[in-house]
């Protein structure tokens, strides 16, 4: 049997069926270890730090200890071949964390989970598998470095390493790329550089308050919700044509939506009103607010009424419908980039915020589509209850929508390129446009 998702792997361990892991290949999110990490030498400490940093510099991943993997003659990757569970006292997880905190910069968030092997345990000795989940670091913090290197005697020496997970292997950022990052201050990727810390224009407090205000107006305080936000370059600017029928008000009242019956912020019942000098469009399941200074906030509830549309009919009410998520995200940036931002020239910032995505019934997202032929079990749970990601606006709805989806998908550890509506680094409008 081959497991192809994190949720399926965890389900196999949690249900006492570790044999289901056999035959599963290592991948960009999965690495098997035949035994727990031992930290009695510098070389072994480096091994732990290298493996964790590599996942943190990618999309995160799982280190599964107690499962041996080997290369097969007919496959180029290592696959799980033997189960080797062990007593819990063989892995000092607290020491793992201390070692990572000492040698990795910036610090990396990990979680660990023990899963008992019911068939190999005895009354005298319980045997377990240890799963270490590595969170990806935010874009502004990349890259994670191991701040000591190994010399030819296997001992720590001055130097640094930047491990990267590439497919089923760990590689290292080439020295010339590291030099370029240091010398030019570049992040080493084509995506726009995310802004770090406060949103541009000194609007950090106002931006957070806007999120809270929108939730309060919509009575979403206890509901899982995804929010999109766009932050103008000038905190005191009053947008021109905000209330003009030929300006923003007219554009919101008569939106050029991609599909009249699609998932969008369309004002089909005349709900657009003035709130605190801005424009507010509130529907039960989604809302949009443009403040007078241009700070724009939108939200949609992650329930079967909106982002989890129709998933309850398939027995998985907490799973995000990828199509709805994608269309809503594209519709938001068509408003933000084409209607609002052009009226305040300068570098805007975009961000996405997920709230209450864990808890008793965590939200889930899977690769591919959510059509009738998709496997609902192939989904990953949200790895954080609150998730905030930001980047400098590109100004192109197709590109900014992609950047938003890339960050949303990372919350679940899912590759955004698995979304069938993504094309390269953009989300083409023609994939949704009716007619």
Per-residue confidence (pLDDT) for residue 370, from 0 to 100: 67
Q: Is residue 3's pLDDT more than 50? A: yes
Give per-residue pLDDT as tens, 266-285.
998 889 999 999 999 999 99
Query: Lowest-confidence range among 192-196, 238-242, 298-302, 356-360?
Result: 192-196
% residues pLDDT > 70 (the chain): 90
- What token pair was written down for 209? 């308050």
Give per-residue pLDDT as tens, 355-369.
999 988 899 999 887
For 182, residues 6+ apart whose C-beta sits below 8 A from its C-beta are none
Per-residue confidence (pLDDT) for residue 236, from 0 to 100: 59
391 vs 221: CA distance, rounded Å = 26
Give per-residue pLDDT as tens, 47-60.
999 999 999 988 88
Mean pLDDT of 303-316: 88
Which CATH number, 1.10.1060, 3.40.50, 3.30.980, 3.30.950, labels domain 6-173? Answer: 3.30.950
For 380, residues 6+ apart whose C-beta sits below 8 A from its C-beta are 5, 6, 7, 364, 365, 366, 412, 413, 414
* Closest CA relative to residue 228, chosen from 276, 268, 265: 265
Cis peptide before 132 (omega within 30 of 0): no
- What token pair was written down for 234? 């000038």
Per-residue confidence (pLDDT) for residue 192, from 0 to 100: 45
Per-residue confidence (pLDDT) for residue 201, from 0 to 100: 47
**Range(s) within the chain of domains with CATH label 3.30.950:** 6-173
Give per-residue pLDDT as tens, 204-219.
778 889 999 999 999 9
Mean pLDDT of 319-324: 94
Q: Is residue 202's pLDDT more than 70? A: no
Q: What is the largest CA-CA distance in the chain?
A: 78
Cis peptide before 143 (omega within 30 of 0): yes
Per-residue confidence (pLDDT) for residue 432, from 0 to 100: 85
For 348, residues 6+ apart whose C-beta sits below 8 A from its C-beta are 200, 230, 231, 232, 233, 341, 392, 393, 395
Mean pLDDT of 248-273: 92
Higher per-residue confidence, 80 vs 167: 80
Distance of CA 166 to the CA centre of its chain: 18
Per-residue confidence (pLDDT) for residue 28, from 0 to 100: 86
- Residue that is written with structure tokens 């502004």 in the block: 140
Q: Is residue 383's pLDDT more than 90? A: yes
| pLDDT, mean over the chain | 88
pLDDT band at 189 (very low <50, low <70, confident <90, very high): very low
């Amino acid at each position: 049997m081959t497991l192809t998702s994190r949720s399926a792997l965890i389900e196999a361990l949690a249900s006492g069926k570790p044999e289901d892991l056999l035959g599963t290949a290592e991948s960009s999110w999965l690495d098997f270890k035949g035994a727990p990490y031992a930290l009695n030498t510098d070389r072994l400490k480096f091994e732990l730090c290298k493996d964790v940093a590599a996942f943190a510099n990618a999309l995160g991943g799982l280190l599964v200890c107690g499962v041996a993997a080997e290369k097969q003659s007919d496959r180029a990757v290592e696959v799980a071949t033997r189960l080797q569970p062990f007593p819990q006292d063989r892995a000092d997880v607290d020491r793992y964390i201390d070692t990572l905190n000492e040698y990795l910069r910036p610090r990396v968030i990990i979680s660990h989970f023990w899963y008992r092997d019911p068939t190999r345990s005895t009354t005298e000795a319980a045997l377990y598998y240890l799963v270490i989940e590595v969170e990806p670091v935010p874009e502004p913090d990349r890259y994670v470095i191991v701040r000591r290197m190994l010399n030819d005697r296997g001992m720590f020496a001055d130097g640094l390493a930047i491990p990267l997970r590439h497919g089923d292997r760990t590689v290292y950022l080439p020295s010339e790329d590291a030099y370029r990052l240091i010398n030019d201050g570049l992040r080493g990727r084509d995506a726009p550089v995310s802004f770090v810390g406060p949103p541009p224009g000194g609007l950090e407090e106002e931006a957070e308050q806007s999120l809270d205000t929108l939730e309060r107006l919509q009575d979403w305080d206890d509901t899982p919700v995804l929010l999109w936000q766009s932050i103008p370059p000038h905190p005191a600017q009053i947008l021109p044509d905000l209330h003009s029928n030929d300006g923003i008000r007219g554009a919101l009242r008569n939106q050029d939506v991609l599909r009249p019956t699609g998932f969008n912020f369309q004002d089909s019942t005349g709900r657009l009103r003035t709130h605190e000098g801005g424009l507010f469009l509130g529907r039960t399941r989604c809302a949009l607010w443009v403040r007078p200074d241009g700070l724009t906030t939108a939200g949609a509830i992650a329930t079967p009424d909106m982002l989890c549309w129709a998933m309850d009919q398939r027995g998985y009410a907490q799973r995000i419908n990828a199509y709805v998520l994608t269309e809503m995200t594209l519709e938001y940036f068509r408003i933000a980039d084409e209607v609002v931002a052009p009226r305040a020239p300068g570098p805007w910032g975009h961000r996405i915020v997920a709230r209450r995505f864990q808890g008793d019934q965590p939200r889930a997202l899977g690769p591919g589509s959510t059509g009738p032929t998709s496997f609902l079990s192939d989904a990953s749970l949200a790895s954080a209850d609150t998730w905030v990601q930001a980047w400098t606006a590109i100004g192109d709805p197709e590109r900014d929508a992609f950047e938003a989806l890339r960050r949303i998908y990372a919350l679940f550890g899912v590759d955004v390129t698995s979304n069938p509506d993504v094309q390269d680094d953009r989300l083409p409008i023609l994939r949704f446009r009716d007619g």
